Amino acid sequence: MRYEKTFKVTADPAYALGYVADFRTLVEWEPSVQTVQQTRGSGPCAGAVYQINMRLFGQDSEMRYECMEYTGNYAILQGMGDGFSAFDRIDVRPVSGGCEVTYLTDISLLTKKGKMLEPLIALIFGFNVRHAVKNLRKCLTV
């Protein structure tokens, strides 16, 4: 399941990338996330590791994310949870009045049951993505 959203915000590009790539902020904008603990690194940086507790489909779930790359204009994070994996890429580029953020997430379901339920799961993740983008726009509009 692949989701990609591009949106404009008034925040400075460096601030926007730092905010979105620092997964400790997920609790502020991702509706399913309950807690996040950074277990390696300090803030957003290559090698940072985040332990995420979330509520998905009525059940508590854990996920471990690692920041694989962090540069001046993009970050790549990879995650693994119980029965699924995720690849996230965050790109920012300066535009007049702020920056444009492109958030791509590619979620792979790893179990037979997950693959069977993929159409339903895709609807729910799509709902979460729309709300996350709405929340991010608020958080990054200064």
Check residue 110 and give its pLDDT: 87
pLDDT at 133: 94
- Per-residue pLDDT, 46: 97
Mean pLDDT, residues 23-31 taken together: 96
Q: Where are the beta strands (DSSP E) in the chain?
A: 2-9, 33-40, 49-56, 59-70, 74-81, 84-95, 98-109
Closest by CA to 87, choosing from 74, 75, 76, is: 76
List CB contacts of 35: < 8 A, sequence separation 6 or more: 27, 52, 53
C-alpha span between 79 and 64 (Å, rounded): 5
Given this model, what pLDDT does residue 113 score?
82
Question: Going by C-beta distance under 8 Å and a sequence separation of 6 or more, which residues neighbour residue 28?
Answer: 135, 139
Mean predicted confidence (pLDDT) in 62-68: 97
pLDDT digit string, tens, across residues 91-104: 999 999 999 999 99
Query: Over the stretch 38-63, which tens digit does the pLDDT of each residue have?
Result: 999 999 999 999 999 999 778 899 99
The pLDDT, as a whole number, for residue 128 is 87
Q: What is the pLDDT of residue 56?
A: 78
- Quick one: what percent of the chain has pLDDT higher than 90? 78
* pTM > 0.75: yes
pLDDT score of 121 more than 90: no
Residue with tokens 């997920």, as numbered in its chain: 26
